[in-house]
Amino acid sequence: MEAKANTENADWEAFPYLGGADVISVQRGPDPGGAGGAYRAFGETLRGLKTTFARILEGPVTIQYPEEKTPVYPRFRGRHKLHRFEDTGVEKCVGCSLCAAACPADCIRVVAAENDPANRVSAGERYAEVYEINLSRCIFCGYCEVACPFDAITMGHEYELSDYNRSDLIFTKEMLLAAPIDKVPLRREGE
Amino acid sequence: MTLPLADVGFAEATWILVVKSILIFLVIFMIMPVLTVVERKLLGRFQARYGPNRVGPYGLLQPLADALKLVSKEYYTPTSAVPLLYALGPMLVIFSGIAALAIIPVGNVKDGVGFYGIDVSIGVLYFFAFGSFAFYGLLLGGWASGSKYSFLGAMRSAAQLISYEVSMGLALLGAIMMAGTLSLTGIVEAQDEIWYIVPQIVGFLIFMIAGFAEANRAPFDLPEADAELVAGYQTEYGGMRYGTFALTEYVEMFLVSGIATTFFLGGWQGPGPGWLDPFWMLAKILTLILFFMWIRATLPRLRYDQLMSLGWKILLPLATLNVLVTAILVTVF
């Protein structure tokens, strides 16, 4: 609502030093109390009853969490995933440790080893012998994903990461490589 | 039969009275747990959520879980409390609540049995006596707890009592004058042509507003005021003592709805054969209780002084005017 200068009802005698034209008297809302106030309160109560009743017709908006999962956006940064080449099945990670260098929380540990040409683990010269992410430290910033030159590590959609032990939250290479359990629904367009 | 305290309109043999009182007690205490879960689920719906739905099918066993938890809790008494009065508080409250239920009629005399606890000629005064008596329980319990929150809650309940009680009585006076009797069955009988909610709509509204205060329900739950006083007069109570206070709130709600039904909504009267009477009465009472819950979901709690000015400046003059106009009309016609 537009603020309006109420100059008609202003008491000029009370402010002789202001010279009239600059005085703006403001009334915030109608005068409370009295018969008018009671009448308004009654009307507003009816309006409130209508508002709350409309909520019943609308139905609950609650997501029943353990049974229903909150849908996430495609760009949601959840638990990491390590990837393999789909055709050959070798790992994309070459053990360069750029992700570990980029990690602000210092939660990635990579130990690289030379590939055996007869029995390749990764596509490059070297591979990650140890690849561990300490998820109790991870801040899910996604820098590792950005730093990786081979798109070997990406952020997944999984967010149910609680556990009983801190040590159980250190995810090894095998766990990160394993096909993710896609429990988390994706948000649809416009949701 | 004449009792020393009040004339009784109709009374049966003593054993029938005993059976009736047990029956009333059982029915009420079957309804109360259902009301608690209905209220919580309904409040949830009003707030766009589900409410309790984990215990049993649709959460219907929730009151059982609540009761189990309350019963198994320790009966703790704070060191600053006065133990005797502290224990007496909830007892007085539940006693007065249940005792007042005796006069709510659910039907007329059939086959020599009256469908009510007792039909006293002082009728509504009995209700007011026990309604005010309940506040001694709150006051004593809160004051004897020895905690500032309990004390504030107790004082508020006293201030609330004097603000609404007068207008509540005056609101009923109109209906009493039209019926020409204080007996609740007589008042229901007098409504067979027209329910008093039509000629006494002002009285009904005033009675309902005062009834919210009588039952300590939102928007007049000042003695409890969980936002600012923790839980008001029941802050220091635990276990089933707290449960008693909580239960009494529902008993009071039932009582106020019962009186409102009797005075303004035609009591047990409704279409259908005579054996339907108690069900009509219950249906009307439960509808009013649903309205109580709806109001609770809608209105914020009034401030202390707002309640006082509402009671003294609006309800009391309106109720007096209503009584005056009714008196003139009753005399003229």
Residues B264-299: pLDDT tens digits? 888 787 787 777 778 888 888 899 999 989 998 888
Position A146 scores a pLDDT of: 92
Q: How confident is the model at residue A139 (pLDDT cuts 50, 70, 90)?
A: very high
- A32 has a chain B CB within 8 A of its CB: no
Shortest Cα distance, chain B CAs vs residue A51, angstroms: 8
pLDDT over 70 at A10, yes or no: no
DSSP per position, B246-302: HHHHHHHHHHHHHHHHHHHS-TT--SS-GGGHHHHHHHHHHHHHHHHHHHHHHPPPP
User: B-chain residues within 8 Å CB-CB of A64?
Assistant: 50
Higher pLDDT, A146 or A191: A146
Nearest CB partner across the interface for A52, out of B49, B50, B298: B298
Residue range B125-173, pLDDT digits in tens: 888 888 888 888 888 888 888 888 888 888 888 888 888 888 888 888 8
The answer to whether the beta carbons of residues B178 and B172 sit under 8 Å apart is no
B309 touches chain A (CB under 8 A): yes
**Interval B217-230: pLDDT, tens:** 878 887 777 778 88
- Neighbour count for residue B131 (Cβ, 10 Å): 24
Fold of A80-177: Alpha-Beta Plaits (3.30.70)
3-state class (DSSP) for residue B208: helix
Please report where in the chains the tokens 């994706």 appear, as a residue: A186
Which residues contact residue B197 at a Cβ distance below 8 angstroms, ignoring those fewer than 6 apart?
B204, B264, B265
| pLDDT value of residue A1 | 43
Chain B interface includes A66 (CB < 8 A): no
Residues 156-185 of A with CB under 8 A from B: none
State the smallest CA–CA distance between residue A71 and chain B in angstroms.
Answer: 18
b/e code A70-88 from CB counts within 10 Å (16+ = b) = eebeeebbbbbbbbeeeee
Distance between B50 CA and the closest CA of chain A, angstroms: 6
For residues B92 and B139, is the Cβ–Cβ distance under 8 A? no
Q: pTM, whole model, 2 decimals?
A: 0.76
C-beta atoms of B309 and A48 within 8 A: no
Q: How far apart are CA A70 and CA B50, in angstroms?
A: 17
ipTM for the predicted complex comes to: 0.73
Mean pLDDT of A74-92: 86
pLDDT over 50 (residue A117): yes
| Main-chain dihedrals φ then ψ at residue B179, nearest 5 degrees | -80, -30
Q: How confident is the model at residue A181 (pLDDT cuts 50, 70, 90)?
A: low
Reported as type and span, the H/E element at residue B8 is strand B8-10
Bigger pLDDT: B333 vs B315: B315
Which residue intervals of chain A bear CATH 3.30.70.3270? 80-177
**Do the Cβ atoms of B45 and A55 come within 8 Å?**
yes
- Model confidence at A2: pLDDT above 70: no
Residues B124, B126, B129, B132, CA torsion sign: negative
Q: Which helix (H) or strand (E) holds B142?
A: helix B124-144
Q: Do B298 and A45 touch (CB under 8 A)?
A: yes
